[in-house]
Amino acid sequence: SFVKLRTFQLQLYHYGTFPEGFHWGVLSSAYQVEGGWNADGKGPCVWDTFTQKPGNIPNNDNGDVACDSYNKIDADLYMLRALKVKTYRFSLSWSRIFPNGYKSSLNQKGVDYYNRLIDGLIANNIAPMVTLYHWDLPQALQNINGWDNPEMINIFNEYCDFCYATFGDRVKFWITFNEPQTIAWSGYGLGQIPPNVNQPGDAPYRVAHNLLKAHAQVYHTYDEKYRASQGGLVSISLNAEWAEPLDINVPREVVAADRALQFQLGWFAHPIFKNGDYPDAMKWQVGNKSELQGLTESRLPSFTDEDKAFIQGTADVFCINTYTTKVVHHVTSRLDIESYETDQDVEKDNADDSINTAVNEQKAVAWGLRRLLNWLKEEYGDPEIYITENGVATGTAITVDDTDRIFFLNTYIDEALKAHNLDGVRVKGYIASSLMDSFEWLKGYTVGYGLHYVNFKLSSRPRSPKRSAHLYFDIMNNNGFPLTEDVSAFGTNLLTLQKRYRRMTMVTLPVTATTRSLRISLVSKH
């Protein structure tokens, strides 16, 4: 039994540390934590409009008060200081700064709020990582069709230009959009999140086209006007789940898994990090189906050569948000349904060894993180990678004793460490989701991702550290999982065994965009 325990530990864990200067952090977003939805001149955003309509969110929850961070900067800074994080990722509320979306409506009290927050972070040696857009579009801009309107490219640029000029002397890491795939698909395809447009066949592609152009525009604005004097980074946080082929020995299934990744992640990453254009798999699938559906042109828009040159290379580092893994297999979808979903010809299922969480579609599958990081390395030319969102949801019955989150953090961060130390992936930072329990979008307050428990039943919104906060403090303080004397005394030389085990478990697969990353050891799947 000792040998079995030892082998299990070897399979599960890699002892080691990240390099000096690794960016450890936590995150929040404006609508989820700030509250003060109409305080001091703030204008309404699309989430205000949506959540204030009864029946849209469980228990009619909304972000009107949320964690009340608008009035509790000191409480938030206290948590961050106690955790000793190096980075705090948060977002700016566009409608708090420009209530109607335009610079002409500038609200100085909103600017003052963010100046106080940023100054407080700097005073505590915490680097601000600022997301310019985290889903909360000013309602006034949705009234002109939001991201489906190409005019938004210049309107967004005006807003970002102001933010660079106002905060860029202290902010050195900018993220333009959080999860543009979610904005395009869930917002304009499925119609689940604001603006709740249900046009799955074409609106997501149009919106993504505008988002990519808007992102490129604000990247170039930073490049041309601010980079020389401010010296910061600009990127975009893309979301993906790892797509594991149903059978790695069946080429069609490997290609299907790759196609799923191209549709979800490559939709934005391929234009930005490769050649300025959409992945071939997307262009072929959507173009072919559009033709068979009798359309005169593809539902996937085309970029001009000028567009491609403008978009290519518009990110300084690769930022990825990821939570889970899906097992993917090929299907032949019906042609009479025009949808981004059916365009892919894939079906996704949960992995056999996935672990339930409070959010059914985000089961914990730690080994998939290592696979995904390897795929990013191979697919996009070995970029520097920041994991800008990763965490686990627990239910409201869990307050501070969150053992599930402890297991999640240990296993997921260790998979990132394996990718860095064993596979040579250039992982530069890890941002845990999230600093504290908050308004969780369509789930309201029925689940929480926080390292700190927030009691939403009390008007003072008290915060309490969970057990996971203490664990994350230790991981950050140790810069990973160093091999201590206590651990090494538990058996034979652990590092030697790890290396030997890794050589034994290398696999050889057909070479495709997906299997280049699948060649990593299968050890972490057990």
- 87 closest CA partner among 131, 35, 34, 33: 131
Residue 272 · residue 214 · CB < 8 Å: no
What distance in Å separates the CA atoms of residue 523 and residue 11, rounded to the nearest whole number? 5
Angle at which helix 108-123 crosses helix 152-167, to 10 degrees, equals 50
Query: DSSP characters for 140-165?
Result: HHHTTTGGGSTTHHHHHHHHHHHHHH
What distance in Å separates the CA atoms of residue 346 and residue 23, rounded to the nearest whole number? 36
What distance in Å separates the CA atoms of residue 370 and residue 375, rounded to the nearest whole number? 9
Residue 120 in 3-state DSSP?
helix
- Strands annotated E in 365-519: 385-390, 394-395, 427-432, 447-448, 452-454, 463-465, 480-481
Over residues 223-253, the pLDDT tens digits come to 999 999 999 999 999 999 999 999 999 999 9
| Bridging pattern class, strands 16-17 and 480-481 | antiparallel
pLDDT score at 9: 43
Cβ partners under 8 Å of residue 215, min gap 6: 176, 177, 180, 236, 272, 311, 314
What kind and span of H or E run contains 237? Answer: strand 233-239
Q: Which residues of the chain carry a pLDDT beneath 70? A: 1-12, 485-526
| Catalytic residue of the set 241, 244, 378, 389 | 389
Q: Which two tokens stand for residue 413?
A: 């961060």
Mean pLDDT, the chain, integer: 92
What distance in Å separates the CA atoms of residue 364 and residue 406, rounded to the nearest whole number? 12
pLDDT score at 503: 37
Q: Kindly report the pTM of this predicted structure.
A: 0.93
What distance in Å separates the CA atoms of residue 317 and residue 383, rounded to the nearest whole number? 6
What distance in Å separates the CA atoms of residue 164 and residue 360, rounded to the nearest whole number? 38
- 450 closest CA partner among 470, 434, 474: 434
- 212 closest CA partner among 95, 322, 321, 307: 307
Cβ partners under 8 Å of residue 167, min gap 6: 114, 115, 118, 128, 130
Over residues 54-81, the pLDDT tens digits come to 999 999 999 999 999 999 999 999 999 9
pLDDT score at 514: 60
Domains of the chain as residue ranges with CATH: 7-505 (3.20.20.80)
Query: DSSP characters for 269-291?
Result: HHIIIIISS--HHHHHHHHHHHH
What kind and span of H or E run contains 378? Answer: helix 367-379
Cβ partners under 8 Å of residue 156, min gap 6: 133, 214, 217, 218
Cβ partners under 8 Å of residue 27, min gap 6: 88, 89, 90, 129, 388, 389, 431, 432, 433, 434, 435
Render the burial of 188-204: b for 16+ CB within 10 Å, e for the rest.
bbbbebbbbbebbbbbb
Residue 446 · residue 395 · CB < 8 Å: yes
364-367 contact pairs (CB < 8 A, 24+):
364/324, 364/392, 364/407, 364/408, 364/411, 364/412, 365/242, 365/324, 365/325, 366/408, 366/411, 366/412, 366/414, 366/415, 366/524, 367/325, 367/415, 367/524, 367/525, 367/526
The tokens 């106002």 sit on which residue? 166
Residue 265 in 3-state DSSP?
helix
Q: Which two tokens stand for residue 114?
A: 């963010």
- Told to judge if 440 belongs to the known catalytic residues of this protein, a careful annotator would answer no
- 58 closest CA partner among 444, 327, 425, 361: 444
- Write the burial class of residue 249 (CB in 10 Å: 0-12 exposed, 13-18 middle, 19+ buried): exposed
Residue 151: other Cβ atoms inside 10 A: 11
